[in-house]
Amino acid sequence: MKEALARLDALMNRLVEADQTGAGIEPLRVANELGAIRQLLAESPTVIPAKGGQRHFRCESCGTVSHGAAAPARCPTCGGTKFFSADIEQPFVESGAG
């Protein structure tokens, strides 16, 4: 999540810079970077695991988080069938520094 946000900030700065300097920016490079950021966000764990062993799964298409012992067959929101694990494995690692 942190890396995705950092890359998003960098991309926004580059776009602003391109506008201010009139240097321009290649749309395809922006698209590629956005695609990479999207993937990072889709994969990034964000949920502290629930007590009782329930896990959380994020729909790759729309981002809906479902909970249960295993990933649902279909996303309740969009019907998607691909899921990433959304559980944070070590919730207290980040200190916020950096």
Residue 34 or 78 having the CB closest to Zn ion: 78
List the structure tokens of 20: 């201010």
| Rounded least distance, CB 67 to Zn ion, Å | 14
In the complex, the smallest distance separating the C-beta of residue 49 from Zn ion, rounded to whole angstroms, is 21
**Alpha helix segments (H runs only) across the chain:** 2-21, 27-43
According to DSSP, the β-strands at 65-68 and 55-59 are: antiparallel
How many Cα atoms are found within 13 Å in the side-chain-facing hemisphere of 9?
6
Over its C-alpha atoms, the chain yields an Rg (Å, rounded) of 17
Q: Which of 31, 34, 50, 78 binds Zn ion (CB under 5 A)?
A: 78
Instruction: Give least dist CB 38 to Zn ion, A.
Output: 14
Does residue 75 bind Zn ion (CB under 5 A)? yes
State the sign of the Cα–Cα–Cα–Cα dihedral 76, 78, 82, 88.
negative
Select from 22-30, 33-41, 76-84, 85-93 the region that touches Zn ion (CB under 5 A): 76-84
The one among 42, 59, 71, 86 contacting Zn ion by CB under 5 A: 59
